[in-house]
Structure formats: structure tokens, C-alpha cells
A and B are shown apart, each in its own frame.
Chain A
Amino acid sequence: MPAGRLRIFSFVTEPNAAMYRAVLSVFVAAKERFRLHLRPLDVLSALRTLPSGAPSEPTPELEAVETALRQLSGEWGLLEAHPDTAAVATVEEFYRPRFLYRLTQHGAAAEQAVRLYEELCEQRGELQTAALSDIRSLLGELLSLLTQDEPDAGRAYLALDTLCLRFGQLTEHAQAFLGSLQRAIDLHGASLEAFVAYKQRLIDYLERFVQELLLSRLEIAQQLIQAEQSGIFQLLHLITERQLIDALNPTEAERTAAHTRWRDRWAGLRTWFVGELGQRSQAEELRRHALAAIPALLSALSGLHDRRARKSDRSADLRTLACWFAEAKDDADAHRLFRTAFGLSSARHLRIDDETLAERDQNPISASTSFLSAPPLRIAPRLRSHGRVVRPGRPASVIDRTQDKERLRLEAEAEAEALLAAQRRLASGKRLRLSELGLLDELELRVLLELLSEALAAGADGQEVSEVESSDGLLHIKIELVAGSSMAELSTVIGTLRGPDYFVTIQETAGVELRTEVRG
């Protein structure tokens, strides 16, 4: 709609708006009585009989009325002026320009729009539980119509139209209600008794609606889906035809527009009750919103209780306190006020240590001894001389073992590393006689002995060659008896090992690398 056409509404905001509204309302009232044309005098007398608005407004004069009428009919086109051809009685009247005024279509629409807007603003809002059952029964009727072969378009149109109307009202009123509920919850200074009574009724009201919504939502959703499966969309075509049956010359564009409107309404209905994939339906949202209103209400109530506990408002108290602090004559007075008004100060006590206590247990001091003659506190010399006690660690229960654990861990790591190094040194992969292994250190000797023992144990009696993996799977040893039963001498750091000679092949197990773990 081009912006120019909306300029018609400026009669609401003009300085003389009250007069314009009054005049238009006179015309609207006359139109309801099927009087279409009015003269200025008629308008004036109607205005005079209306209950006046503000007491300070003077009763209108003919001049003002005529000016208003001219303005309304001129630029804005809310009224239409026709020359008045009736006969007059006086000469002045003959020379005065005389017009008859009629409310135009635009004027009627504008006035109606403004009136509707005002009504909506005043609307209190409701949670219409009854609407839900209406919607259910209307859907039931639609379903029954769908089962017929030749559904009655008239009844279908009526049913769907009413359905959409009721549904629109339900959502509109629910929105208005919950909006006003939020404002009501922000009640400040409401009397407690009124609020308590209101609260109970409100909670009952909300609960009733929520229950009904819960029950009907599922049923309505089922009905909607069933309707879609039974061919509601074909019915929509029929309904569109029925709607346009009285139009003079329905164009194709109008027909598709009407049809699209019906489809949109149906889609809206569906979304509201059934919901989209992955999203909650609007009905569910409404239910949650209504449910959430109850605790919000209760917290507002507890806030009111809080305020009731003190006759005056907390803010006023705090302001007075602020003034008092400002009036304090020194800091000490301010501290006193802080302690009394806030009560957050810690307790304060002198200390005592275990040694003094133990000594007092041994030599109790009577209550009549003076402080001056009683033995003083035992204070650690270091505390007295340096102001710090040798760091004693944590008090009593938990002994801190982290250092010891760290040390052990390092030792274990070092051991593991050494072992792995030894294994790596031995696992040369070459086929050597025992005596050719060279000088072994302790760890290497240990590893070798373990491997040998496993290999010898694995080998059956008399078998000359045996191959085995070490128990940790990292090394692979193969031993072969040397022919000729020669003795081998293996020198190590701690001594010499003598025994039958073998060919020994030690290698790392394929696929496993000897590598120290990196621990985090």
C-alpha cells in the first residue's frame, strides 16, 4: 500500500485530533442509523448532546465544526462534501457556502481501524479453554465432511472459517494474557491480600488451561493429520470457490490468492498444534510458558512477603543508611554502624598453641589468678625472632607424599630405561657364541640369563636349536648348541659365567621397537 494512502491516519495525531475523532464518531453513529448525509448543524447538535470529554473542553462552536469538516473532507478524504441544495430561510445562509457531508469508504475504514486498535489495546486477554474444545468439535465436523463423497462446500466453508477464527482468538488472547501476566507479576506496591487472592485464582486458571491444552493438543494434532490424509487440500479448493461465490468478477489472481490464504491458515494451524520436525509445537511452547508463569508468580509473591515483613520499603531504608554513613563524624562511627547494620563481621579471638595448652593441662591455673601473674604463652622461638615458623607442612591429617612419589617414579623410570638400554645392547641380531658377547654389565647379564633360561626351558630334551620370545615379548632369542661340547666363558662385571657354549641370536621382536615410554 503506498505510503500516501496512510496519511489519512494523521487525523489521529493532529493537534485538533479530539475534535476530528468526535466528528467522525458522529458520522459513524449516524451511519449505523442509516443516515448517510449530515449538515454541519446536525453535527453540531450531535456533538452537543454527546457527553463532553475533558471538563476543560468548551462546547464546540459552529465555526470550529465547519473548519473540522472542511479539513476532514479536503486533504484527507475522510468525508465527502456535496453542495447542499435544500432551501434556506435567511439571506446570510444563502451566501454562506453550504455543504452536505458524507462519510467515505476510506473514512469509515479509518475510523473502524482506529476503534479496533483501541479495543485491542484495552483487551485484557484470556486463556480460552473453551476455544480448545470448539476447535476439537469443528475439526471433527470437517473430518466427517471429508468422509462424504460430495462434501457440502457451504458447511465446510463455515466450519473451517469458524475454526480459523476461534484459533486466531485463542492465540491472540493467550498472547495478550501472558503479556499482561508478566506485567502483573511485576506488581509493585500491590496490597498483599489482594495479590494472594488473585494468585490462587490465577494459578487455578493457569492449571486449568494447561491441563486442557495438554489433553486437546494431542487429539487435535491427530485430527489434523487425519484430515490431511483424508484429502483436506481438495476440500480447500471447494471452500475457495464457495468463498468467492458472491464476488462479482473473481479473477484468477484473486482465486489463487484466496486459495493460498486458506492453505496458509491450514499450515498455521498445523504448525501450531503438530509442530515442525525437531521443534516444539507452538502449543507446547504456550503450555511451557503458562507453566513457567506459576513459579514466576510465586517468586513475586515471596518478594512481596519480604516487603511486608518490613513496613517501609527496603530502598528507603538503604537511602537512610547512606545518609547516616555520610553523617558519621569519623571512620570509627562509620565502622560501628556497618557492624550493627550489616552483621557481617567475623568473630575475633586470641590464639593459643598446643604446647601452652599441654602445659596448662599439667599445671592448671586457677580462675582467680591475674593475667599478670599467670605464666605467659609459649611462643616458638623462631616465631618470636623471625616472625615465621619453620614451614611445618599441612596441619595434622594429610602427609604430603608427592616428593617421595616423585622420587620413586624417577627411580622406576631410570630403572626401566636402563633395562631397555641393556636389552637394546644385547639385541644385536648377530649370531654369536656366548663367549663372544663381550663384557656384560649387571643388567645385561640379568637380561641374558633370563632369555637363556627361557630358551633352554622351551627347548625339549635333546633339541639343539630353540627359539623363543622373552616373557615381555620384546626380544627374541635363538640358541643353538655348539657341536663339540665346548665350554664358554662369559666375563661380566661381577664375575665370570661358565657353561656350555651356544650360538645365540638375540634380536628385537619384529614390529616392536625398544623405546622408552614418554610419560606425561
Chain B
Amino acid sequence: MRGSRAQAVLASTISQRSDRESAEERRRAVRILLVRPLLCAGGDDAGDFSLVRKHVDFLRTFFSKHLGWTLEVDSGLARLRKVPADLWDGTRPARDVHTGIPFSRRRYVLLCLALCALERAERQTTLGRLAEQIVQEAQAEALSAAGMTFDLKSQDQRRDLVTTVRFLLSMRVLVRVQGDEQQFLSERGDVLYDVERPALVALVNLRRPPSLIRETDWSSRLAALSAEPRPDTPEGRNQFLRVQLMRRLIDDPVLYYSELTEDERTYLTSQRPFLTRTLEENTGLIPEARAEGLLFCDDRGDCTDFGIPEEGTRGHLALLLAEFLASRLRTQGDLPIPHVDVVRHVEQLIAQHKSHWSREATQPGAGPALAVETLERLEALRLVRRADGSVIPRPAIARYALAAPVKEARKDNAAFTTADGTSGDP
């Protein structure tokens, strides 16, 4: 009898552990999709893709019920159709795959024209052919009225095209078969690609066709583009509020109560425990609720495109600048800080740390540009707001204030345990 009881306990422990493991896997799958909403079965994401496929039912239910996002998974592709809640967030650009520089307007236009050309392509295409088709598409009057011409002859234009194509390669809409983009840049060769039609179709996330939208004001355009039907009943409105709040909590770094409307704030106050518990259980992100706002922290570092603190020169500078601004916040409240003060501080930091920072950061005269870049990063993390000529620190930046140093022995321990926890990707 003792033996069978021990066996039952063992069995339940095992099943508990496997439940825990699969719960852990599910959370990981959610985080994977949050960071990369388009996953292909081939290529580098193959492991992530199979994990997503394994838990597809759970994922589909979770995303649709709590976030109103559809998840399409088939044998070659997984696409989470993320509809943003905060449409006015301009800090999430498409980026050059190699340098991380955000796309310019020209590159976005090229991207759309390239997708247009690929719609008509057969199973394969070359970079040269794509360029020709884009030039043809670009003859449209509306584009030239806006001052954009494409002849793809100059080196700059070719580089723009190659950046766009590299973006498409990273999304696996195109798969390189032969050739090298570098050769195309130096006009010595061409590149052959396979066109993956499913990825092409899944890339764009338009609920309403833009050609039917007549608004010209930018925010109304965006609103019309992402409009979703919702019933005009109290339940419908509540549901909409909840979904909007969840989208912001899961996608944005910090949600400040001051940004919410009256309805939203009321709803959040009453439903906060439910919302935080749902998100925490299903994503593994850890809630941090304070008087000014609510945020979810990432303890593993795999649910964000860039974070703070982070290794590397830029991450270090961001951390130190955040510290400086946080101390100002704590001492002076949220008075705007003149931009020149920030630049001066950045230059001091450069002087202090130039021995272990990257060379391009420590060039003479790099101070102002670096300051702007770091402020953009902090703004993207919702830690500051930038107005003309000044910087306004936001409450959450106080997290990075310099604390009193801990005792020596504990500090060594801190070096060990924190080392495990904060090992992020450089």
C-alpha cells in the first residue's frame, strides 16, 4: 500500500512537472510570437516555429480571446496578426537588417512597390527583374507628385533596393537561390530568388483596403486602417476596452494612467487584478504596478526588441543617461530638462567611459548625435518624452535611479546572481 501511494505521488509529481513544463513552453511560444509575429518553417526560426505549432490551439484561443488578434498557422507559416492599440507610437520602424537603422520613407515606398511587383511574379524572380518592375510601378503619378522618383540607377537607390530586399529575405518572403546582393550593388551580377507566396500574402496586415479609405488626416487614416467592427452594446464596449488595454500592456513597455481616457481608467482600476493575472500566467511577464502606471517586466530578456539595461555601448549609455534623468526626476520633479544639459552630461559620460566603449561612440563630436539617439531609445521605452529643446522624464525612469551601494559581501553575491539574471544578448 505504501508502494502504491508512493507511486501515486510520483505519478502526480511527474504529471505536475510535465504540466509545468508545457505551461512554460506555452509561455515561451507566446513570447516568441510577440517578438516575431511572422514565423516560417524553414530557416533560422524552425525551432521556434515547431514550438508554436505544437501549442497552436492554446495560442489561438489566448490571442483571440484576450487580445483580439488572429493567429494563422499552417504547415509552412505562422502569422500573428498584431493590431496595435497605440496607433501614435512612431518608435517601431522597419530596420535595416545589418545596421539597425530605421527605414526612411523612400525605403518604405520601395517596400510597397516591391511587394506589388512580387504579387505578379511567378515562382522565381531576380533582383534585376524586380528592379525593372519597381521602376515601372513607380511611374504612377501620385508618387511623383509626392516627389519620389525611382530609376534605380544611382548607387544610393540601388542600396535602398538592396536594403528592402534584405528585409524581405529576413521575413522569408524571398529565399536566395544564387548570387549576392553585394554584386548587384557593384553592378557586377544579379541575384536569383524563390518567391514564397504564402509569406508574401501573410506579410501585410490590412483589414480594410487602403484604396477605399478617403481620409487624409494621418491619425484618421491610421484609425480607419485598423478599425475593427464592434457591437455597440455595453458588453461590446467593455470588451473593446479590455482588448485595447491588454494590447497596450502586452506590446508597450509602460502604460501610464495619465494616458488613459476616463472609461479606460475606470475599467483598469476595477479589472487590474484579472488583467495582470491573465497576462502573467500566459506570457511569463512579471507585473509591476505603481501609482502612476502599470508595466510588465521581462525577466528573461526574450520579449523585447531592445531593453534596458543592456550590454554594449548604447545600452550602457542608455542606462547611465536614464540614471541621470531619474536623479533629476527625484530631485526636481518632472521639470523639463534642457537638451543642452543632456548633451553635456552625455559628453561627460563619454569622457569617463571612453576606454571601454566602441570607437564610433568616442569620436570627437559624437556627443550630440549619440545624445539624440539615446534619447530616442529612452522615448521608445516610454521613459522620457521629448518636446522641442527639452526632455521630460516620465515616472518609470525612476526605476533606474542610483540606489545606495549595498554592503561589500552582498555586492559580490550580487555580482554572481545578477550575472545569471541580467545576461542579455549583447
Question: Interface residues, chain A, CB within 8 Å of chain B?
Answer: 306, 310-312, 314-329, 331-355, 357-358, 365, 367-372, 374-384, 386-390, 392, 395-396
Contacts and interface: CB of A to CB of B under 8 A. Distances in A.
A376 B380 CA distance: 20
Interface string B86-120: 01111111100000001111001100110110011
Nearest to A380: B418
Identify which of B292, B301, B326, B421 gathers the most chain A CB atoms within 10 Å of its CB. B421
A335 B420 contact: no
B330 A372 contact: yes
A315 B119 contact: yes
Given A314-B119, A324-B221, A349-B295, 15 more contacts: A312-B212, A314-B204, A322-B113, A328-B105, A335-B91, A341-B206, A343-B205, A348-B307, A348-B381, A349-B298, A350-B298, A353-B421, A379-B418, A384-B323, A388-B312
21 contacts: A314-B119, A317-B210, A317-B211, A318-B204, A323-B140, A326-B146, A329-B218, A335-B94, A336-B87, A338-B92, A343-B82, A347-B251, A350-B253, A351-B424, A353-B421, A371-B398, A372-B329, A376-B398, A386-B353, A387-B311, A389-B423
Q: Which 8 pairs show the lowest CB-CB distances between chains A and B? A: A387-B316, A332-B90, A354-B421, A322-B112, A326-B146, A343-B205, A353-B421, A352-B297
Identify which of B34, B103, B108 gathers the most chain A CB atoms within 10 Å of its CB. B108
A380 B414 CA distance: 7
Interface residues of B, number: 120
Contact of B301 (A316, A351, A374): A351
A224 to B, nearest CB: 38
A342 B357 CA distance: 36
Nearest to A358: B417
Interface of B: 31, 34-38, 81-84, 87-94, 102-105, 108-109, 112-113, 115-116, 119-120, 137, 140, 142-143, 146-148, 171, 201, 203-206, 209-212, 218, 221-222, 225-226, 250-254, 272, 285-286, 288-293, 295-299, 301, 303-313, 315-317, 319-320, 323, 326, 329-330, 353, 356-357, 380-381, 395-403, 405-406, 411, 414-415, 417-424, 426
A386 B297 CA distance: 23
B76 to A, nearest CB: 13
A325 B146 CA distance: 9
B307 A382 contact: no
Contacts of B218: 328-329, 333, 336-337
Contact of A318 (B82, B113, B286, B421): B113
Identify which of B147, B212, B426 gathers the most chain A CB atoms within 10 Å of its CB. B212
A396 B426 CA distance: 18
Given A340-B222, A343-B37, A353-B299, A376 B326 contact: yes
Nearest to A383: B309
A349 to B, nearest CB: 4
Nearest to A334: B105
A137 B175 CA distance: 53
Given A318-B116, A337-B222, A343-B205, A351 B137 contact: no
A159 to B, nearest CB: 46
Nearest to B113: A322
Identify which of A346, A348, A378 gathers the most chain B CB atoms within 10 Å of its CB. A348
B356 A338 contact: no
Nearest to B405: A381
Contacts of B206: 310, 317, 321, 341
A34 to B, nearest CB: 55
Given A353-B299, A376-B401, A376-B403, A326 B105 contact: yes
A98 B253 CA distance: 100
Identify which of A372, A382, A396 gathers the most chain B CB atoms within 10 Å of its CB. A372
Nearest to A386: B356
B108 A338 contact: yes
Contacts of A341: 204-206, 210, 225
A375 B211 CA distance: 52
B81 to A, nearest CB: 6
A12 to B, nearest CB: 34
B423 A392 contact: yes
A369 B290 contact: yes
A340 B415 contact: no
B145 to A, nearest CB: 8
Contacts of A322: 108-109, 112-113, 116, 137, 140, 143
Nearest to B295: A350
A353 to B, nearest CB: 4
A387 B221 contact: no
Given A312-B209, A332-B90, A335-B91, A318 B112 contact: yes
Given A338-B94, A340-B222, A372-B395, A352 B329 contact: no
B97 to A, nearest CB: 13
Contact of A383 (B108, B272, B422): B422
A357 B299 contact: yes
Given A326-B147, A335-B93, A351 B422 contact: yes
Given A341-B205, A371-B290, A351 B419 contact: no
A225 to B, nearest CB: 40
B205 A325 contact: no
Contacts of B357: 387
Contacts of A337: 108, 218, 221-222, 225
Contacts of B225: 337, 340-341
Contacts of A379: 309, 319, 400, 418, 422
A349 B112 contact: no
Contact of A370 (B291, B316, B356, B397): B291
Contacts of B119: 314-315, 318
B84 A351 contact: no
Given A344-B37, A379-B319, A349 B253 contact: yes
A319 B403 contact: no
B297 A390 contact: no
A380 B205 contact: no
B348 to A, nearest CB: 15
